[in-house]
Chain A
């Protein structure tokens, strides 16, 4: 059995024994239990639990619950019930090692390395891979972000499509608004108001509508984030934050709205200004 799977086996298997406390405290090694496991197995701090590497209870050992921890929110595990324990590495190796294979007592799933120069992560992983083909070093920055870069790109693509749809929406609205004021614009042009001034007015109107729309959108999102986070946090029993309207995102939304408003205003004013003033006031 691979060490990772053994570890999972250990993490998922907790056999509760009699909750005698102080008398064992000195001899029994400590274990930390996740909040979720504590609740699910009806445990409490100070209880003595028995951990084993398999369901048959092979090489079972007793541990005393020294504390409870909230598992670090991990977006890759948000839909997995975090039934976990933390034991000292020596205790874990003793628990999972195969007595018939001494090498398993010195096997680990992963080693964390802190480099003196953190920018050399990729070079280090290449050098290690070249020397030892069965060891893989992955800079933690890469391993953490690669999945989320993909999800981020996916969300960006959806946002782009939404912006295209919104542009068409705003454009149609502005064209209708321009049509509505066809006669007014015709009269303005007949009394000498320049095309540039009229165009500026329509563009500014489009801009204001777009910015106001974006601002309302940001407000709705800011209001919704609490509900969304509460729902998903309760649904998956995690402290992970699923939605956060940051100032950067809010500014980006408004920044995207500006060209959308300008384009919509320009196109709408063009539908009026390309015609002669007399044709605009004709009934």
Chain B
């Protein structure tokens, strides 16, 4: 009989303990798998968010924190300069402002007003219903808008509805007259927090909301490099235009994010994945050791029958592999389920972009999970194997008979 077959028979003979061990490994393995997904989940998710847009370069002011930079002054001029660069295929600009939705017989509702020079939204929204902004409307007709799903639900809005938006003026209590916006689409805004109330319109609509007078600033400018030009060359070219701006490729932004944002979760994932690996090791080692101690007579009898030490050791190793292997395999779907629950908890964090997730699957996580569990099985089997192969056969058999 092969060591694997013998290990399988042993597991079946001691079914209850084998099942419990598999459950233990599955639960702890699921937590371990989740921690591996958590370690890079935010970074991968952030990269997915950025790469989902059509632009691979972000331009912002040169001061402020890495993820909260100051706006760009003289944005119109800069936009023309960037568009004229041979490395750049397209450029777009985005502005944001506080505003209020003022509808008859309802309380004014604070919303975020987004102005976009790109009718398809620069990737700031993902269209769910309707169409993107209409740039063809003349100066007198109502400008078009895309609103967030939450706003559409709360105010029973749909493509074709008209809303009235009053822009806020930062630093003053002045009130501008509201403007009418015709809703053409409803979308998800993955960079905004869940349940955000957002109204996105064209730059003309944004200017009109501000009484036609807006300063020449932009919160963000987006650019796409030409396919035949490296993105780094395009970033360098933009950086050289003006000293008060800073251009970042998506990769640079992701690297910044990985360095500065939510490092707590990366660290806790390292701590917890290490702890869970140690826990799995202890679980399997203890169970195998106690199990071997209980079967000393059986092992001595096998040795007395001529079964070689190597065979006994291989059997015990297979036992560990079976327990950890089955438990580790069950840990994958269990881990995915647990990750979705934990992600749901963490995503209630205030101000978190709706498109950002804490747990993200990547093949690297799976490989690490397999490696950690394989190492656990091998290390866990070491001590009980050492006990079994060094067993004094005659003495053990005698003790078993006497007892």
Contact = CB atoms under 8 A, between A and B. Distances in A.
A132 B173 CA distance: 8
Contacts of B263: 79
Interface string B329-360: 00000000010011001101110000000000
Given A132-B173, A133-B108, A79 B20 contact: no
Contacts of A176: 17, 287, 290-291, 294
A186 B300 CA distance: 25
Contact of A55 (B27, B170, B244): B244
Contacts of A104: 171
Interface range, B side: 35 or more
B401 to A, nearest CB: 11
A12 B24 contact: no
Contacts of A133: 100, 108-110, 166, 168
A281 interface: no
Interface string B63-105: 1110010110000000000000000000000000010100000
B342 A175 contact: no
Contact of A173 (B107, B286, B346): B286
Indicate the member of A13, A132, A165 with the most B CB atoms within 10 Å: A165
Given A5-B70, A134-B100, A161-B338, A172 B24 contact: yes
B346 A150 contact: yes
A103 interface: yes
A133 B165 CA distance: 12
A50 to B, nearest CB: 16
Contact of B345 (A3, A106, A154, A180): A154
B193 to A, nearest CB: 12
Given A146-B350, A150-B348, A158 B287 contact: no
Given A9-B64, A176-B287, A157 B168 contact: no
A168 B290 contact: no
A151 B346 CA distance: 7
Given A8-B65, A147-B350, A172 B17 contact: yes
A2 interface: yes
Contacts of A153: 345, 348
Given A5-B64, A55-B62, A104-B171, A175 B345 contact: no
A47 interface: no
B342 A154 contact: yes
A190 interface: no
A153 B109 CA distance: 31
Interface range, A side: 35 or more
A159 to B, nearest CB: 10
A133 B260 CA distance: 33
Given A9-B70, A133-B100, A176-B290, A158 B350 contact: no
Contact of B23 (A54, A79, A150, A168): A168
Contacts of B65: 8, 80
Nearest to A180: B294
A150 B349 contact: yes
Interface in B276-295: 279, 283, 286-287, 290-291, 294
A157 B342 contact: yes
Nearest to B110: A133
Contacts of B108: 130, 133
Interface string A260-278: 0000000000010000000
B31 interface: yes
Contacts of B70: 1, 5, 8-9
B272 interface: yes
B28 interface: yes
Contacts of B345: 150, 153-154, 157
Interface string A135-159: 0100000000011001101100110
A237 interface: no
A164 interface: yes
A147 B261 CA distance: 14
A173 B168 contact: no
Contact of B290 (A1, A162, A171, A173): A173
B145 interface: no
Nearest to A224: B271
Contacts of A55: 62-63, 243-244
B21 interface: yes
B334 to A, nearest CB: 9
Given A129-B110, A132-B173, A175-B16, A165 B28 contact: yes
Contacts of B14: 179
Given A9-B63, A133-B168, A161-B27, A169 B107 contact: no
Contacts of A168: 20-21, 23-24, 27
Contacts of B133: none
Nearest to B22: A168
Interface in A82-138: 103-104, 106-107, 129-130, 132-134, 136
Contact of B31 (A8, A54, A147, A162): A162
A129 B176 CA distance: 17
Nearest to B290: A176
A107 B64 contact: no
Given A134-B110, A146-B350, A173-B286, A3 B31 contact: no
Nearest to A79: B263
Indicate the member of B14, B65, B171 with the most A CB atoms within 10 Å: B171
A70 B206 CA distance: 43
Given A157-B342, A180-B290, 7 more contacts: A8-B64, A78-B264, A80-B260, A130-B107, A134-B168, A168-B20, A173-B290
5 contacts: A8-B70, A9-B63, A54-B63, A55-B62, A172-B24
Sorted nearest first, the 6 A-B pairs with minimum C-beta distance are A107-B171, A172-B20, A168-B24, A133-B100, A134-B168, A165-B27
